[in-house]
């Protein structure tokens, strides 16, 4: 049996530091029995995860496994379940990051799915429950590994992975980058990084990003962080600290943006509608994408900034039959449940139920602002006129009357639903002031075993 011994049993585990901060890591070795999971393999991973929870430090998993070790039978299946249990127990206690660096098949896929963020490497990493051969045998579908579970499949279509990188080196570096935004545990604060970007910086260009015509699109990324070229210099024109935006899931549900950034060195989670894609409408995928991110930020005490330009929820048979009511409720639930500091800025449209869902004052928003061109209403002017003034002879005049009366931030401000109508150029300094004010915020939800999220 000597020749069957596997050094390290196909996984290397340990702990170290990234920029001086403790982290626990396990790395599967595909050269040893295809990185297959055995009882001992699982025990090593479980030991690392137990230690991480004990001391309060993140876990990074480098996944490269062909699945369960068939020779061990049910022991390998028990090993998977032991890992899954720890993934769930660690959820919301310490951050968990997964990097898929090769094949990850069968039961192996569920551990990354239970972690907070999953990243892949293009052309070399794959995630699927059953491989192409099994799919062919059972359904008679011809499909390649890449089509079934490659990086493009999971970063664009399924949303299982939060990003994909060109090679292993870039992937490892980007894991270090995202780690730098996160606290070590739910009892720690995220690290504050020095910045020479003044907290009182005012950017007049923000006054011109949002078009006057509410039907015209613009890139919300320009509001968060825009890079422009001028005389061979890069100018960072944005709300956030210079060069600090780390976007997550950029290729999936592009009509909403999520990611980490910094304001005056402090980590902030950003959720923003993207008018450049489908007018920033909320659909099933966008709701699920944002809801999971909001819950992560709340679990680890990361303040939330919500930038709103949303015409509503996407109508249509496909969305209704796909469960937009239930999936949209996930985002509503996430914001309602969150107790972290919440700052909201309405940059333009905030219509209907989507206005409520996007961290409105009614969902315990701490500071809610609107830019002067904001339209906060039940619906857009054209749709409202069709209903309210259907018998009017002069639809244009009726539309202008509706806009003057409802489609502006003043009615909401008069009722206290908006704390202030501010100029775009002063938004950065107001956000930083609010984050400082809310740093010692104490808010607790009623005791419960757990809520019943509309899964």
Q: Is the pLDDT of residue 135 over 80?
A: yes
Considering the domain architecture, whether residues 173 and 213 belong to the same structural domain is answered as no
Cβ proximity of 191 and 58 under 8 Å: no
Q: Which tens digit of pLDDT belongs to each residue from 325-365?
A: 999 999 999 999 999 999 999 999 999 999 999 999 999 99
Q: How far apart are CA 332 and CA 345, in angstroms?
A: 17
DSSP H or E segment with residue 126: strand 126-128
CATH number for the domain harbouring residue 241 = 3.90.226.10
Considering the domain architecture, whether residues 122 and 236 belong to the same structural domain is answered as no
Share of the chain above pLDDT 70, in %: 94
- Asked if residue 433 belongs to a domain, the reply is yes
Considering the domain architecture, whether residues 214 and 352 belong to the same structural domain is answered as yes
- Going by the DSSP 8-state scheme, the letter that residue 68 receives in this structure is B
DSSP H or E segment with residue 245: none
Q: Which tens digit of pLDDT belongs to each residue from 88-111?
A: 999 999 999 999 999 998 888 999
Q: Is the pLDDT of residue 70 over 90?
A: no
- Asked if residue 150 belongs to a domain, the reply is yes
Q: Is the pLDDT of residue 232 over 50?
A: no
Considering the domain architecture, whether residues 258 and 294 belong to the same structural domain is answered as yes
- Asked if residue 395 belongs to a domain, the reply is no
- Asked if residue 191 belongs to a domain, the reply is no
How many CB atoms within 10 Å of residue 436? 14
Question: What's the number of domains the chain is made of?
Answer: 2
Considering the domain architecture, whether residues 289 and 435 belong to the same structural domain is answered as yes
Q: Which residue has the tokens 């991973």?
A: 45
Considering the domain architecture, whether residues 174 and 211 belong to the same structural domain is answered as no
Mean of pLDDT over the chain: 91
Considering the domain architecture, whether residues 356 and 246 belong to the same structural domain is answered as yes
Distant-in-sequence, close-in-space partners of 415: CB < 8 Å, separation ≥ 6: none
- Going by the DSSP 8-state scheme, the letter that residue 91 receives in this structure is T
Considering the domain architecture, whether residues 312 and 356 belong to the same structural domain is answered as yes
Cβ proximity of 374 and 350 under 8 Å: yes
Q: How far apart are CA 61 and CA 63, in angstroms?
A: 6
Which residues are part of the catalytic machinery?
Answer: 106-107, 353-354
For 343, the domain range is 204-374+409-440
Write down the pLDDT at residue 231. Answer: 37
Considering the domain architecture, whether residues 282 and 234 belong to the same structural domain is answered as yes
**Rg of the chain, C-alpha, whole Å:** 24
Q: How far apart are CA 62 and CA 119, in angstroms?
A: 10
Write down the pLDDT at residue 235. Answer: 40
Report how far apart, in Å, the C-alpha atoms of 356 and of each of 268, 333, 417 are.
21, 11, 10
- Asked if residue 344 belongs to a domain, the reply is yes
Considering the domain architecture, whether residues 307 and 427 belong to the same structural domain is answered as yes
How would you class 249 by CB atoms within 10 Å of its CB: exposed for 0-12, middle for 13-18, buried for 19 or more?
buried
pTM of the predicted protein model: 0.94
- Asked if residue 396 belongs to a domain, the reply is no
Considering the domain architecture, whether residues 257 and 291 belong to the same structural domain is answered as yes
- Asked if residue 383 belongs to a domain, the reply is no
- Asked if residue 189 belongs to a domain, the reply is no
Considering the domain architecture, whether residues 317 and 424 belong to the same structural domain is answered as yes
**404 band by pLDDT with thresholds 50, 70 and 90:** confident
pLDDT top residue among 31 and 175: 175
């Amino acid at each position: 049996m000597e020749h069957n011994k596997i050094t390290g049993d196909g996984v290397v585990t340990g702990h170290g530091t990234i920029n001086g901060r403790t982290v626990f890591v396990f790395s599967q070795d595909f050269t040893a029995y295809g990185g297959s999971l055995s009882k001992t393999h699982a025990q090593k991973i479980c030991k690392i995860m137990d230690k991480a929870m004990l001391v309060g430090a993140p876990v990074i998993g480098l996944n490269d496994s062909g699945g369960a070790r068939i020779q061990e039978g049910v022991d390998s299946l028990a090993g998977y379940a032991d890992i899954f249990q720890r993934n769930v127990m660690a959820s919301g206690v310490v951050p968990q990051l997964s990097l898929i660096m090769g094949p990850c098949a069968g039961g192996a896929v569920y551990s990354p799915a239970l972690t907070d963020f999953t990243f892949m490497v293009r052309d070399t990493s794959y995630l699927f429950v059953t491989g192409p051969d099994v799919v062919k045998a059972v359904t008679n579908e011809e499909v390649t590994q890449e089509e079934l579970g490659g990086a493009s499949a999971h970063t664009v279509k399924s949303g299982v992975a939060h990003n994909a990188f060109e090679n292993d080196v870039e992937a490892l570096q980007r894991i270090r980058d995202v780690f730098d935004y996160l606290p070590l545990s739910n009892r720690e604060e995220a690290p504050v990084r020095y910045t020479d970007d003044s907290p009182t910086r005012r950017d007049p260009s923000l006054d011109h990003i949002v078009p006057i015509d509410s039907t015209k699109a613009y890139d919300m990324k320009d509001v968060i962080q825009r890079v422009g070229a001028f005389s061979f210099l890069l100018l960072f024109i944005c709300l956030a600290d210079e060069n600090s935006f780390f976007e997550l899931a950029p290729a999936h549900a592009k009509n909403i943006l999520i990611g980490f950034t910094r304001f005056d060195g402090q980590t902030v989670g950003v959720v923003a509608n993207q008018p450049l894609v489908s007018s920033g409408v909320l659909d099933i995928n966008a709701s699920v994408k944002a809801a999971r991110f909001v819950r992560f930020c709340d679990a680890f005490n990361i303040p939330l900034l919500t930038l709103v330009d949303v015409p509503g929820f996407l109508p249509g048979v496909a969305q209704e039959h796909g469960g937009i009511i239930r999936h949209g409720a996930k985002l509503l639930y996430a914001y309602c449940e969150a107790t972290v500091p919440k700052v909201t800025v309405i940059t333009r449209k905030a219509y209907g139920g989507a206005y409520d869902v996007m961290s409105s004052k009614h969902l315990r928003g701490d500071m809610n602002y609107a830019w002067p061109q904001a339209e906060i209403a039940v619906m857009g002017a054209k749709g409202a006129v069709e209903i309210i003034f259907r018998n009017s002879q002069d639809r244009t005049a009726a539309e202008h009357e509706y806009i003057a009366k409802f489609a502006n931030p003043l009615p909401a401000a008069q009722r206290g639903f908006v704390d202030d109508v501010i100029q775009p150029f002063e938004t950065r300094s107001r956000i930083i002031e609010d984050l400082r004010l809310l740093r010692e915020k104490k808010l607790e939800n009623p005791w419960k075993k757990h809520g019943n999220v509309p899964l």
